[in-house]
Structures are given as structure tokens and as C-alpha cells.
Amino acid sequence: MQRFFILIALFLYTVPLAAQQPLEGRVVDAFTREALTGVSVRVLQAGNKGCLSDQHGAFALQGLRTGHDSIAVSFLGYAEQRLPVPGSNIIVYLQPLSTRLNEIIVSAGRDKQYRTEAPVAISTISTQMIKETKATSLEQVLNKVSGVYMVDLGNEQHTMAIRQPIGYRSLFLYLEDGIPIRTTGDFNHNALIEINMAALKTIEVIRGPASSLYGSEAVGGAVNFITASPMMLPSARIQAEMSDRGYKRTDFNVSGTKGKLGVILGGYYANQRNGYIEHSDFHKLALTLKTEYAISERSKWTNSISYVDYKTDQTGGVDSANFHSKNYKSFHTFSYRMVKAFRLRSTLSQQWNDRNFTNFTFFYRSNEIGQNPFYAIKTTSNPLKARGEINSDNFRSFGLLAQHKKYFNWQKTSLIAGVSADYSPAGYFARYIDVDRDAAGYFTGFARTDSALTDYQANLLNTAAYMQAEMSPFNRMKIIAALRYDRMDYDFDNHLPPSAFTGSPDERNYFHAWTPKLGLTYDFGHDRGLYANYSVGFAPPNISELYRGVKVPVLKPATYYNYELGGWFAFAGDKGYADVSVYRMDGKNEIVSVRLADNSSENRNAGRTRHTGVEWNLRYAPFAAILFRTGGTYAQHDFIAYEDKGKQYDGNRMNGAPSVITNTELGCKFLKYFRTSLEWQYVGRYYMDPANTETYGGYSLLNARAGFNWSNLECWVNCRNVGGVMYATTADKTAFGKSYRPGPDRTFNVGVAYTITAKK
């Protein structure tokens, strides 16, 4: 009997031990399927028992009781999950919070940091927003950012207005994973044609100068396109969509991680035929391959290759009569633009210890833009003849970037220092063409001539060194100071004689600049804080501004001084937040095209301007299924000094500068599978000319979206310009008359996608 009781006691003791087992799992982002590092996993029944996920999103806990214990998985910016211990291996998919305030950003300091620690106006377009918008061109997501107006010029062509009027100058810097997609000195306002939308994870937009870290052209703002990383589990996705305006597109994406190597390949092919404007067909192929190799727990090697092949018909604006009668026939029947872009990046990241981190990046770019531009076609005294040109702009880049970050024990101090070099041989060739014109005014054909307008080679070398220090002299306060030095060397070799249209002699020019930044943040707690900053931005003349059509190059860099104050606060628990920024930016030595007495024009450092404004952003989710978002800007852009054709426009408002730009959206998700949203885009009135004699009244658009997700299947229908509003994305008045660029009429897009993801 005694043995029987001993056996019963041993059985009762060992049963709970047998039920205890180790729990291993991984934590991933529910949208990107990327591993999340540093996620807290804790046992609810034991408050001090838990762990953090590693760089692969993996975690392990010992001695848990299946069916009895439960765990809480939490990470900043994500909804916490609580779940019972299901077994030995699990995958936890964390949902990003749509109203998160303190998200992690990388662009403001060239390294990961919390948004509230950066004394700049910065906004993030999340993976969720990109996926649910189903944008066919980038302005459909970028215009959701307060203070941003990306102008749709058709077929992914565009220009930008961030703290600046609508214009075409080199005042914005576009980056891919922190590397400029084009070389300094060869800016193109259509540069975002070269972005692969199907490869994006997030987009970060810095408003205001960012030259202290990124160098020239980061004046009105810097836009950093962050590409997706390989998913933890093997996955494949294909989607197809089309519109009732002749647009068709197919996207694909395959990704996965095996051992230390992760690979992702994504791209799309888009094709437009018979659009709402004549002569507006286009096609684009974009591909991106990215690999990540974990050499060790502290070392990672990342490589990416992007390729874009694009060609579009070109059509300009229409005059007032044709615009208001919705007669969008194009007078141009042969103009075109083509782009071939190739980028390669290789980055080695090394964590030496908990306080020292180094990144070393090599990059290569090859780019060519060829065009028969509509804007170069000029009429002559013969009504049946005109003149124009065919041109080609190309460059190749070889670049290096080395950066080190170090943390110190004193006052939470950290220091980032880096050096970079970018050598880019560039060439430009333009040939004169004779253009035929019929009696109705249509440009019907052309003949090439032997006359070269421009033919040069310019070797561009940009070398730079930068440093940014952060410290907290007092609790809740952070001070950031940055300084960068850039030197740009232009080695110009003209292949034409001095009598040519571009007759500048061979010569060497160089420009250099020191660009500082000083910023302060103060955290009041409870997700409330203030920031202030002073920053300087600069923009050297482009090689086309400096040399094309010039006999003696005399331009200097333009410089901008920015003063900014802002703040943020969360409210209603985790249900909402708001942020606001107020700025003033003064520009001097601005490069403007001045019209001379003989109606010819030339570039001069003839402008001083002032830009002041307030930007706001609000997100509120009263219920989990409803999200209200609004953002916008109220700004004033003034000429302080500006002369054109002998006339002074000092004190006038700048042309192409809307005072008010807003974007508001209400989204709803219901029955778990459905989503809908209504979006209102408003662009206020602005002057069409520097003399302020004509105004364009702006426009107001309503866009609607609906989607359905079930298991691996997704389908959607979007309606752009629901009301069929007649509007212009740009409106100008020149000596030749008024010109309006018609915006898209009511357009329906429908699409379907299917995703396959491995279970293990």
C-alpha cells in the first residue's frame, strides 16, 4: 500500500512537468512579413519572465505550461497581442497601429530613431497606406503628406512643390534607401519615374532643408523611398489591374529567407493606350532585386539592383478655350520621352559592440533620358513650319559612402560621422530638327538636320564630409547639431565651337558649401512635445543651367535659411494624435530664368524669396474600424527681389504657389474582409504669372476606394475624381498665352491579387 501511494504522488508531481515545454517562435510585421527585432515577449502569469526577439524576429521561453500560461507580445507602434501558449512553435503577426505617434524613422538622422526625437518636420507613408491606396502613380500617396503637392503631369511624369511653389528647379532630393537616385548637378524634375513602386515598403518625407546630412538639392524637402526587405517565410504575390481609360498594369513579388540569406524580387509592367488626352500612350518596366545576408549576429551584407525602362508620348498643356471646352486634342503628334535607369547598391553593416556601428556603401548608377520634347517646339514666321530639337542627357556614377555611429556614456550623447564621394561623367547632346505644321496648327512630322545645338561632356565630382551630434543635457531634452561640407567640381568639355548655341569654352568650375543644422526637442511626457530647428540648404547650378545655351557660365549656388518650430501631442489614449509645424525660409541667389528685351532668356542669380507657412497633420480612430486623417498647409511664397524683362516684381506673390493645400480621408473596415475610404484633395487658388495679373482658382477632388480581402485573395475598385471635375494640375501665363495641364477625368480602376505564403 505504501508503494501505491508513492507511485500516485510521483504521478501527480510529474504530470505538470510533462505539460511544461519550451516555446519558440518568431514575430513579424503583419503587412510587410518582415522579422521584427526587439519585440517584448513576456509571460502574463510571471511578470518578470520574458525575452526580446533577435534580429531574425526569433524568441524562446522555457518552462511554459500548454493550456495554462499565456504570453503578451508588444512593440512600439504595434497593437499588443495576448494569446495562450499553443505549442512549441508559433508565428506572431503584429498589426501596426494606424494612429501611432512615436514610430521609428531612419531619414532624419541617417539611422534608426524615434520620430519624436527628431527636430524636423517628417512624415511617413506606411506599408499599410501604400498597399490600401493601390496607387497607379506616386502622387496618389505622396499628396497624403501635409505640405506636399506632387504635381501629376501624366504617365508618372511629375514635378514637386514642398515649401516651394510649383516649379521645375533642383530644390528637392529624391533618395532610395538613403542614396540619391540621381547625381548632384544633373537634376530632373521627372526623377521619380525611376522609382519601382512595386518594391516599396515605406516612404519618408522631410519637409524643409536636409542639406546638413544629404547635401545639395535637399532644400524644399527630401523624399526617401525605403525598399522592402526579404520576408521571413517564402511568399509570392501577383496582381493585375486595369482602368476604363486604357491603363493596364501587372505587379509581381517573390520573397523568402533561407538560413542566413534573404531574397526579394519585385516589379511591374504598366501600359497606357488611348487615354483621355490624345498622344498620351506610355509603357514602363520596373524591376528590383534585393538580398540580405547575415554574415554573423553583428554583420549584414545588403545588395540591391533596380532597373527601369520607360517611354511615353509627350503632350503639353492646352490653351484656355480648349481647356474650358474639354477639348484635349494634342497638337503634338511625335514628341516623346524615354528613360533607361540602372542602380546598384552594396552595403556592409557592422555592429562592433553595443556602442559602435559602421556602414560602408558602394553604389553605381547608369542613366539616360532621351526626348523629342514638346516644349522645345517653337513656331516661326512660316505658319507651316516650326523648329525643335532631339536631345539626350546621360550619366554614369561611381560612389562610396562610409558612416560610423558611436554612443557615449555622458549625457546620452551619440555621434554620427560620414564621408562620401560621387564621380559621375555626364554627357548632353541636342540636335536641331525642322518641324512640319499643318493649317490646323498640328505639328505633324519633323526632319533631322546636321546642326548640333549642344554637345558636351562634364565630369562631376562631389565629395563631402558630415557630422551630427546628439545629447541630452537635461532630462526630456535633446539637442542635435549637424554640419556638412560639400565640394562639387565640374570639368566641362565642349565639343562645339564658340559660335554654337552652347558655346561656352572648356573650363573647370567648382562650388562648395558649409551647411549647418541646430535642433532641439523637449518631451513633456504622455506623447506631447515641442521641437525647434535652424537649418541651411543649398542648390548648385545644374550643368544644363550652367552651360547649355551659354557663352560664359557665371552662376553661383542658391542658399536657403530655414527657421522652424513645431510640436506633437497624442489624445484619447492611443486613438489619435496631431502634429504641427511653423516655418520661415529665406532664399538668396536663386537661379531664375530671366526674359531679356529681345524675348530670349538666360539663367541668372537674380532672385530672393521668402517662404512662410504652417503645416498640420491629424489622425483619429474613434473605433478600431474607422480612421479619420487630415493634413495640409497654409503658406505664402513671396518675391523679395525679382526682375524679368526689365520689370521689377519685388513684393509680389510667387506664381504657381497655392496658399492652401489639404488632403483629408475617412476610411472604414467592416466584416473583417471589407475596406472603403473617401479622400478629398484641395488645391487653392494661385497666381499664374509673376506680375500677379491672372489667377487660377484651384480645384477640389473626391476620390473613392473599396477593397475586399479573403484568405489569399484581394480585389479592389478605385474611382479617381468621382465628380468628374474639370481641373488643371498646372496653370501658367507667359508671353505666349495661357497654358493649362488637364487633370484626369473620372477614372475607374479595378484589380485583383493573389498571395501564396508558406506555412512554415
Grid coordinates belonging to 31: 503587412
Which among 69, 94, 119 is the end of a domain? 94
Residue 210 shares a structural domain with residue 229: no
Closest by CA position to 425, among listed 404, 400, 447, 394: 394
Q: Does residue 749 lie within any of the structural domains?
A: yes
Instruction: Grade residue 603 by pLDDT with cuts at 50, 70 and 90.
Output: low
Q: For residue 594, is pLDDT > 70?
A: no
Residue 158 shares a structural domain with residue 239: no
Alpha-carbon distance 97 to 672, whole Å? Answer: 16
Looking at residue 716, what is its pLDDT? 97
Q: Does residue 400 lie within any of the structural domains?
A: no
Domain that holds residue 155: 104-223
pTM (2 decimals)? 0.92
Residue 125 shares a structural domain with residue 53: no
Residue 544 shares a structural domain with residue 634: yes
Q: In total, how many domains does the chain have?
A: 3
Residue 36 shares a structural domain with residue 180: no
Grid coordinates belonging to 207: 519637409
Which among 50, 69, 94 is the end of a domain? 94
Residue 88 shares a structural domain with residue 109: no
Residues forming a β-bridge with 239: 251, 753
Residue 471 shares a structural domain with residue 537: yes
Residue 73's H or E segment, with its range, is: strand 70-74
Q: Does residue 46 lie within any of the structural domains?
A: yes
Residue 133 shares a structural domain with residue 166: yes
Residue 571 shares a structural domain with residue 488: yes
Q: Does residue 346 lie within any of the structural domains?
A: no
Alpha-carbon distance 52 to 49, whole Å? Answer: 11
Supply the mean pLDDT for the chain: 89
Q: Do the Cβ atoms of 83 and 53 come closer than 8 Å?
A: no
Q: Which domain CATH number covers 145?
A: 2.170.130.10
Instruction: Grade residue 169 by pLDDT with cuts at 50, 70 and 90.
Output: confident
What are the pLDDT digits (tens) for 646-675? 788 899 999 999 999 999 999 999 888 999
Residue 172 shares a structural domain with residue 320: no
Angle at 682 between CA 679 and CA 686, to 5 degrees: 165
Quick one: average pLDDT of 454-472? 96
Q: Does residue 606 lie within any of the structural domains?
A: yes
Residues forming a β-bridge with 670: 674
Grid coordinates belonging to 459: 565630369
Closest by CA position to 73, among listed 65, 83, 63, 64: 83
What are the pLDDT digits (tens) for 496-551? 999 888 988 899 999 999 999 999 999 998 889 999 999 999 889 889 888 888 87
Residue 211 shares a structural domain with residue 228: no
Q: Does residue 272 lie within any of the structural domains?
A: yes
Which among 94, 129, 145 is the end of a domain? 94
Looking at residue 177, what is its pLDDT? 95
Q: List the beta strands (DSSP E) in 183-232.
A: 200-207, 221-227
Q: Do the Cβ atoms of 108 and 118 come closer than 8 Å?
A: yes
Q: Do the Cβ atoms of 637 and 668 come closer than 8 Å?
A: no
Q: Which domain CATH number covers 25?
A: 2.60.40.1120
Closest by CA position to 366, among listed 347, 400, 343: 343
Q: Which domain CATH number covers 368?
A: 2.40.170.20
Q: Do the Cβ atoms of 687 and 659 come closer than 8 Å?
A: no
Q: Do the Cβ atoms of 496 and 516 come closer than 8 Å?
A: no
Q: For residue 747, is pLDDT > 80?
A: yes
Quick one: average pLDDT of 727-738? 88
Percent of the chain's residues with pLDDT above 70: 94
Closest by CA position to 107, among listed 187, 28, 179, 34: 179
Q: What are the C-alpha distances in Å from 399 to residues 286, 391, 464? A: 23, 26, 11
Alpha-carbon distance 154 to 308, whole Å? Answer: 17
Q: Is 704 helix (H, G, I), strand (E, B) or coil?
A: strand
Alpha-carbon distance 255 to 266, whole Å? Answer: 8
Grid coordinates belonging to 323: 481647356
What are the pLDDT digits (tens) for 174-229? 999 999 999 999 999 999 999 999 999 999 999 999 999 999 889 999 999 999 99
155 Cβ contact list (under 8 Å, min separation 6): 137, 272, 280, 282, 312, 313
154 Cβ contact list (under 8 Å, min separation 6): 275, 277, 280, 312, 315, 741
Q: Does residue 117 lie within any of the structural domains?
A: yes
Residue type, 604: R
Instruction: Grade residue 21 by pLDDT with cuts at 50, 70 and 90.
Output: low
Residue 168's H or E segment, with its range, is: none
Q: Residue written as cell 510640436?
A: 567
Grid coordinates belonging to 732: 501658367
Residue 231 shares a structural domain with residue 217: no
Q: Does residue 109 lie within any of the structural domains?
A: yes
Q: For residue 60, is pLDDT > 90?
A: no
